[in-house]
Copies of this chain bind each other. A is one copy, B any other.
Amino acid sequence: MAIQKSSAPTIIDVAERAGVSRATASRAMGGYGRIAAQTVEQVRRAAAELGYRPNEVARAMRQGRTRTIGLVIIADFTNAFFDRATKAIVDAAKSHGYQVLITNTDEDIAAERQAIETLIDKQVDGLIVVPSTAAVHDHLATVQKSGKPLVLFDRRVDGIVATTITTDDFSGTEAAVRHAYAMGHRRFGFLVAAAGNYGHSTERPAVMISSVEDRINGFMSGCADLGIKPKQQSWMFCEDNARDPEIAVAKLLDQPKAPTIILTTNNDMALVLLKTAGNRRLVIGKDISLITVDDSQWAAAMAPGITVVARPVEDLGSITVEKLLAEIDAPGQKAEKIVLPTELIARGSVANLVMYPENEPENY
């Protein structure tokens, strides 16, 4: 009768049962160093009989790496973007033998700071961070000083030299403007989600998230190219909370010469517009048009479907992991700025106005 051990078997138990030393048992299990094939067999059998599984914490301790990466992200459920990114990152990491420790920051810089500290304390081998703001980056510098590889996801931070994977939101938004123009739209509403205490206003806040900045610049560039004048544009900056977006949408719609199309920089805004339109008996794609960002099943399934600027989330996630692991395996890689293309998916939410001559730019 085998004696019942209270806790899990260790390599020492395996070594004893196989009649070899700890070192040899470890070599046999780890498949490294010089060791006789027969011994490996013997140790493996002993391990199997005992149900031995190596203790990864002890291993991490000795080897100085945990095969774990830390992900500091914002959770946003309106928008499957970060959820899909999370999945892509988790899956990609797994396929390389890494696990992921996740922390959610809710766009809060203090939470981000704390999350990063905790993950470093837990000795993750590298960090993927979605920075909640471009304004603060001393904590990111601290990561780098600690020697941990760091990759920024979806948002650039100036002042930090780190590999950054983003999407081409500039061109994406430009394309959206162009599409709307081609469909005959001449009065544009632009609804910009701006984190920070801005309430809702037409005044552009100073510091923002790079992806949002890119969308703003893309919008301006598109308008400039097509000769869409400032008076044909209604901008609205709006905090992404429960109250302000409704007010912002109402302001856009209640203008004397209301826009025929509204572009939004995130799906919260788009959904508020949808809701408001529904309440006012305005039909999307007919009475009011909409283009938003990020494709989703609901955007595709609605009638009419919502025209979106889609981002390659899965690629974004897997490339991010690959870059991070490359830096982990061989520190000192050159920091890259990788920008993946966006794609305009035209659906029915943009009305075709080309037959209405009163919308021609001449009238402005």
Contact = CB atoms under 8 A, between A and B. Distances in A.
A56 B298 contact: no
A58 B61 contact: yes
Contacts of A56: 121-123
Contacts of A78: 297
Nearest to A277: B303
Nearest to A271: B301
Interface in A298-326: 298, 300-305
A100 interface: yes
9 contacts: A56-B123, A57-B123, A58-B61, A68-B101, A75-B83, A77-B83, A77-B84, A86-B86, A99-B119
Contacts of A84: 77
A103 B90 contact: yes
A121 B53 contact: yes
A99 B300 CA distance: 36
A104 B91 contact: yes
Q: How large is the interface on A (under 10, 10 to 19, 20 to 34, 35 or more residues)?
A: 35 or more
A104 B90 contact: yes
Interface string A100-116: 11111000000000000
A179 to B, nearest CB: 21
Contacts of A241: none
Given A68-B122, A87-B75, A100-B101, A278 B297 contact: no
A278 B298 contact: no
A54 interface: yes
Interface in A256-292: 267-268, 271-272, 274-275, 277-279, 284
Nearest to A6: B147
Given A87-B77, A277-B303, A57 B61 contact: yes
A123 B75 contact: no
A119 to B, nearest CB: 8
A55 interface: yes
Contacts of A55: 121, 123
Interface string A60-94: 11000010100000010110100110110011001
A164 to B, nearest CB: 23
A146 interface: yes
Contacts of A267: 297
A6 to B, nearest CB: 9
Given A77-B84, A297-B268, A302-B274, A118 B99 contact: yes
Given A54-B121, A56-B123, A275-B301, A146 B87 contact: no
Interface string A32-61: 000000000000000000000111111011
Nearest to A99: B101
Given A68-B122, A86-B102, 8 more contacts: A57-B57, A61-B61, A68-B101, A77-B87, A80-B83, A94-B103, A274-B303, A298-B298
Nearest to A275: B301
